[in-house]
Amino acid sequence: MQIKGSSWLKFGLFTVGLGQSFVFVIVPPLARDLGLSEIQTSLVFAISAVAWALTSASWGRASDKYGRRNIAVLGLIGYSLSLVAMITPLFLVERNIMDLAFLFPLLVLGRLFNGLIGSATRPAAFAYVADNSSAEKRTVKFARLESSFLLGTVAGPLIGGFLILITKETPFYVFSLMSLISSVGIYKNLENSSIHKKTEIIKDKISWKSKTIWPYLLIASIASLSQASLLQSIGFYVFDMFDSYDDLPIIVSTSFAILSISTIVSQYLFTDAFPLNNFKLLLYGTFLIVFSFFTMAYFPKLSVYYLSLLINGLGGGMIRPAISSSLSLSQIPENQGSAAGYLGSVYPIGHMLTPFVAMPIYAFNPSYLYFFNSILSIVIVIFIISHPIFKRS
């Protein structure tokens, strides 16, 4: 594995994490202040998620054919454009330069760049790592790739908090530029690997219904709903439940930072320093998430909320690399890109369903949303225990 090239790949995912976290910190409360409802704001992310789900598997197959590098670069360019296209209308409306009626459709359009094109980076990156890592090192390699993205989600609110002192748009334009820089670095330094020649016929093609695919997609999609509803509700929850505190935006940023940092620490501890097998990672991680959501629901206090987010991050840090690694190890080399694409296509399901499932529950009672998420996690535990494919992983 090329050290220099793979480092650029990790930097690319880092830049994606920068913007993704800052979008969730800034956009929901700002859009609501400008006149959009919680459901409208969630729909912006949901529509993008639909586009992501529909295109991710295709990008994975495209990376098999046209090379991991080319597809990863294309995805970073799409993500970079989405940051600028999404954040600009918000601040034009805020400064009364543009009418509020245009805000919702332009936000949808801007976020669509991320769903349609930005979805290419992840399957190409993970397929590249699968191509260039042994079975024994697959989990830890995937965890490090995930950590690059998560490190960006931690740094996003911190760096953005300083840049926003210049103007509110500055963080997004800077993060967009960093993404473009990473795409150039990847193009120049990463070998454009493709797992098979264009004329080669793959004998054992897979689909989402394949027996080595659908169990992983099922638990990933359920976990996606609980995670997406948590991410999209943090901004609202803090402003609604802790309104007596000062500097609420800082509390929101701190919440995202705790969640992300604990996830990174978890990935290092349980995949590298004290490695667990994939089955234990999945099972123990989900148990932690069940516990975290119950404490959020029962104890609406800021200190408990921070602790619950920390526990949730520990659980999430165990689950995601275990799913990616188990799925990858169950596939032949020729299907790595397709498998990564299928997995990438279900992660947005949570953002697709959150406006219609999670946010109405939140509107009725914020605590009920976390009860609902704990039940979803219990379903995952039961499925992991009952299906033999996870023990074999």
Confidence of residue 315 (pLDDT cuts 50, 70, 90): very high
364-380 pLDDT per residue, tens: 898 999 999 999 999 99
User: Tell me, what amino acid is at 255?
Assistant: S
Average pLDDT score over the chain = 85
Say which residue, 307 or 154, is predicted with more confidence: 307
Q: Which of 278, 360, 356 lies closest to 319 in space, CA to CA?
A: 278
Q: What is the pTM (predicted TM-score) of this model?
A: 0.74
Confidence of residue 181 (pLDDT cuts 50, 70, 90): very high
Q: Which residues of 312-344 are buried (b: 16+ CB within 10 A; e: fewer)?
A: bbbbbbbbbbbbbbbbbbbbeebbbbbbbbbbb
pLDDT at 2: 43
Q: What is the mean pLDDT of residues 282-291?
A: 95
Helix (H, G, I), strand (E, B) or coil at 49: helix
Q: Which of 324, 314, 304 lies closest to 260 in space, CA to CA?
A: 314
pLDDT at 196: 52
Give the pair of three-digit tokens for residue 384: 């992991």
Q: Which fold does the domain 3-191+206-392 belong to in CATH?
A: Growth Hormone; Chain: A; (1.20.1250)
97-112 pLDDT per residue, tens: 888 888 889 998 989 9
Say which residue, 126 or 42, is predicted with more confidence: 126
Contacts of 145 (CB under 8 A, 6+ apart): 9, 10, 13, 125, 126, 129
43-71 pLDDT per residue, tens: 888 788 888 888 988 888 888 888 889 99
Please tell me the number of Cα atoms within 13 Å of 375 on its side-chain side.
7
Q: Given a cut of 50, is residue 206 above it in pLDDT?
A: yes
pLDDT at 393: 62
Min mean pLDDT across 158-162, 214-218, 234-238, 335-339 is at: 335-339
- How deeply is 265 buried, as exposed, middle or buried, from its count of CB atoms within 10 A (0-12, 13-18, 19+)? middle
DSSP for 106-121 reads HHHHHHHHHHHTGGGH
251-272 pLDDT per residue, tens: 887 887 788 789 888 988 887 7
Work out the percent of the chain whose per-residue pLDDT is above 70.
95
Min mean pLDDT across 266-270, 313-317, 330-334, 387-391 is at: 330-334
Q: Given a cut of 80, is residue 348 above it in pLDDT?
A: no
Q: What is the mean pLDDT of residues 344-350?
A: 80
Q: Given a cut of 80, is residue 125 above it in pLDDT?
A: yes
Q: What is the mean pLDDT of residues 113-127?
A: 88
Give the pair of three-digit tokens for residue 235: 């901004």
Q: Which residues of 45-76 are buried (b: 16+ CB within 10 A; e: fewer)?
A: bbbbbbbbbebbbebbbbbbebbbbbbbbbbb
Confidence of residue 174 (pLDDT cuts 50, 70, 90): very high
Q: Given a cut of 50, is residue 198 above it in pLDDT?
A: no
Q: Given a cut of 50, is residue 204 above it in pLDDT?
A: yes
Alpha helices (H) in the chain, listed in sequence order: 3-34, 38-66, 68-94, 103-116, 121-131, 138-163, 170-189, 214-241, 248-268, 278-298, 302-329, 336-346, 349-353, 359-364, 366-386, 388-392
